[in-house]
Structure 1
Amino acid sequence: MQSIRLLSSWRPVATRAASRGAGCWRRPIFQGIGTRPAGSIYAVEEAEERTLEAIRIISPELTSRQRKKLKAAIAEEGRMEELAKSLKASSKSMVFSVDVEKYESGNEILEVGVAVYVPHTPTILAYHFIVSDNLHLSNGRFVKDNRHKFLYGESIHIPLKSLQYVLARYFSSLRELFDSCTLVGHSIQNDIAWLNTIDLHIPRDTPVLDIADVWMARYNQATVQTSSLKKMLTALEITAPAPHNGGNDAYHTLKVALEMMEIYVDLSLRVNGEV
């Protein structure tokens, strides 16, 4: 049987590429996925079986539930690899992130951040919407209230009903402009669920990628635990002030995803209109 190396072999290269302002990643080796025709259902099934077997051998202490969780995370990492290839090869593919900040003592949405990366452009475009209906509600007990500390442009104060319309139109326009639009996020299913509560739905056929799962597959296979966005940013040496601001977190989430895919963008920070 061929040897199998899981993605735990991934590690940040110690020497960072200063000229690109980002870390470099070693390429993964994932062998022994079977000899049937690539892309066939049999090849996929064999790959999954071998993945589970490799997990059992390398981490026998994991429970069945943890093994399944890790297998799903490894599959997510594979999807990130495919997304990276698509973004590097085609100008008709794009990726965007969404971050929702809700009231810590209720279910009201306070902010929504959106960040967009289009291939062959040097920067990430970020947008920050503050729900004007809920300005009387503030966080601060469990998470910081950084609602008014958006670093990448001007915040937009908008009623909830108008926000629903604006974002729905915006997401629709992205799908019209690009052949492929992928949503990335950190524990993104939570953000999607919160958007659903205000009747704002990401189209079901939109590819969704969770960087928390990919990070687990690369670095946390032994514990099968997710890492916070803050820990990821620290590991990648990305400066990320004013967290828990929807716009900032959307930007930083997308920046982490792009760096994990070895796609480098301008890291210039614009704070209060100054570089």
Structure 2
Amino acid sequence: MGRLGDKSDYESVREARISENKARMEMLGLLRCTGELSAIASASTRRAGSVTPRKSPKPPLVLTPLRRSGRLIAATTTTGRRFSARLNGQSVEHKALPYKGKYAEEEEDEKKKAVVVIDKQRLRVLQERRCDSKGRGAVYDSLLGICCHFCRQKKLCGEEDCKRCGEGDFEQPCIGKTDCSSCHSSNGILCRACLKVRYGEEMEEVRKNKNWMCPHCIEEKGIKKFWICNSSICLKKRKIAPTGIAIFDAREQGYESVAHLLMDQLKRSRAF
């Protein structure tokens, strides 16, 4: 058994290997490089930890009074609050409104009469233009005009007895547009031209018939089979392509209107 101060075989081999590695590193010059790198790292650490003093000291903070306009300074009291002239004890002058005497009232009456004359002249010009056509009308008016369900035009009708389009009376109905007795909705509003071309009906006959119903109500109630509204809006809802200007094809084939042509086509398609 060895003594207490003796080295073991492992330690002897370890020290021999360390000495060999040092000799090899010294021969290659690695020890010198390691020392230079350690010196550079320690110098950079010292520079990072140190604080460089400012070359010029920071100027002291000086509080200056706020800039205010002369109007605000004059309107500010000793308490620092703004008050009106009446609360500050100053006299207030009230400007009297101009008196509307006899002449001023006469001037206002003259202006009103001039406006009425201008409105009458404008209405006469519109009436002359709208009477050029009884079909869909010739004058577009977004206020007085009622939108047709098919052509979607808010034109003034050319009917002579129409007080709405002729005299500008909003409370009167337009006799140049139809009104369904069942739904009284926008679906039943058609102008003279669309009523004739698309459905083969005359406006005079519709006016006489107090129970006239639009194609929508006729289809819903089942009064006339295969009779539908052929406007582009309704045809798209039924997933049918709009017909466009189909009146020429309908009349060439002997049909009274586009609606009669579509009704015959639907009958033949359902037959197969």
Give the TM bin, normalised by the shorter chain.
Answer: under 0.3
- Higher Rg of the two aligned structures: 2
- TM-score, length-scaled by structure 2: 0.22
- TM-score, length-scaled by structure 1: 0.22
The structure whose RCO (Cα within 8 Å, separation 6+) is larger is 1
